[in-house]
Structure 1
Amino acid sequence: MTKITGKVLHVHEPFVVPYSKRKCVAYYFKIEKKVSTGKHSHWRTLIEKEDIQDFYIEKRGEVVLVRPTNTPKNYYSYLVEDSSAGSGFLKDPTPEFKELLDGFNIPSENFLGFNKRLKYSERIIEVGEIITVGGIAKWKAVDATISGYNYSKIAALESSDSQKLIITDLIQARRTDL
């Protein structure tokens, strides 16, 4: 297994996450509602979305291609929560949070006009962010031009049947070996 820590560069047009509007190569977000059942209450997931695309990691002028896939999922991601929002009793949703809820057709108020207890959390791998990726290193032919990189082959981090990619933006991962 090979581990690399470096700056994220996009291969394709980056995603734009719905709440923070930041450009990223991977995201995970969740909208939850507080549900009470008499004595007990819990958070019920209303919306949960995750997506990822191929990206480069740049370190000291060299680049490595990372190729995660969703179907079948060939990676584990451990991402720090980047943004969050919420609403509830005596706490109105921000205009940005209200816009997000409207986009998913989730009403922010109950039938009596009180705010629902809702929360949103967002985890992303932003373009330009420093992250750590672990995987199996292989040489691959370059099929897309990378500015400033004039070679016919590039190192790529991939998964195998027994070993998935590990992708994280946790600071602790930069200091330890996989």
Structure 2
Amino acid sequence: MPLSGKSSIIIFVILSFAIIVFLFIYYSKKQIIIRTLKKIPFTRIGNIQTNRLTKTTGKAHAIEEPLIAPYSKRNCVFYTIKIEQEKKNGKNSHWENLVNEEKIQSFFIEKNSDLIMINPTQNPKNYKSYLVVDKKVTSGTFNDASPKFESILKQYDIKSTGLFGFNKTLRYTEAIIELGEEITVAGIAKWKNLDKPIPGYSYSKIATLISNQKQKLIITDLPKEKVSKTS
């Protein structure tokens, strides 16, 4: 039985929506990084070859005084935070970005007592990244901002209430690479002479992952099995 005009329109709308959702997911930062990393085989730190595109995994360790995540106050080498406010216009609503902050420092990756140095820079930015969000905080009409959340908002000169003292609908997300967390990094391998000894490391050179004009560093704390090379 042929489809009616109304049924055809409904099917078209459903298919169009499904295609949009698929494209949104496929081209998301997370999926792009997963697809890129899956094409690169893992290399043991001790087997790294100079000038080769290399992917390795291990535990993150600070080279200098570690960063401190704004909300969770955990020691880390990389964090990203976002603060958003829900804005309404009649029946429609959207999230307005109030704060989008990212901080990173040079760090080591350690695996089986081997070390590799990672040197990301923010200006100019020489890396791509995806971090799993591990802290979410919200406030709203019947949900006052906690004292800890209020403290964060104050740091960024944001008030949790608006006109007549009503709560704003706010949300905070935080993602970090914590000290000792297992992560995966890809980049161009180099061996670097050490200017000064590293405690517990007895060699005069250390493997380093860097970027170049064609290849940025790729950094993620996604589980290793998600970024393993497909067979």
TM-score, length basis structure 1 = 0.95
Q: Could you tell me how far apart the structure 2 residues matched to 1:85 and 1:134 are? A: 31
Paired residues of 1:24 and 1:126 also in contact (CA < 8 A)? yes
- In 1, are the aligned partners of 2:78 and 2:104 still within 8 Å (CA)? yes
Q: Which structure is richer in relative contact order (CA contacts within 8 A, separation 6 or more)?
A: 1
More helix by share: 2
The partner residue of 2:203 within 139, 142, 151 is 151
Counterparts of 1:177 and 1:94, CA distance in 2? 43
Task: Give the alignment of 1:1-178 within 5 angstroms.
Answer: 1-172=53-224, 176-177=228-229
Structure 1: gaps (5+ residues):
none
Q: Does the aligned pair in 1 maintain the 2:197–2:204 contact within 8 Å?
A: no
Which range moved further: 139-148 or 18-27? 139-148
CA distance in 2, matches of 1:39, 1:111: 20
CA distance in 1, matches of 2:161, 2:169: 9
Unaligned runs of 5+ in 2: 1-52
**What number of residue pairs does the alignment pair up?**
178
How far 1:173 moved relative to its partner?
A: 5.1
Aligned mates of 1:173, 1:77 — CA distance in 2: 17
- Report the AA paired with residue 57 of structure 2: T
* 1:166 CA drift (Å): 0.6
Q: Give the match's secondary structure for 1:98.
A: helix
Provide runs of 4+ in structure 1 moved above 6 Å: none
Could you give the per-residue CA deviations for residues 107-153 of structure 1, whole angstroms, max 9, x where no partner exists?
11112111100000011111111000011111001124321102111
Q: Match of 1:48, SS?
A: strand
Contact 2:150/2:160, CA 8 A, preserved across alignment:
yes
- The Cα of 1:17 is off from its aligned counterpart by 1.4
Aligned-partner Cα distance in 2 for 1:136–1:16: 28
Q: What is the alpha-carbon distance in structure 2 between the residues aligned to residue 73 and residue 122 of structure 1?
A: 20
Alpha-carbon RMSD across the aligned residues, in angstroms, is 1.4
> Which one has the largest radius of gyration?
2
Partners of 1:54 and 1:6 in 2: how far apart?
Answer: 15
More strand by share: 1
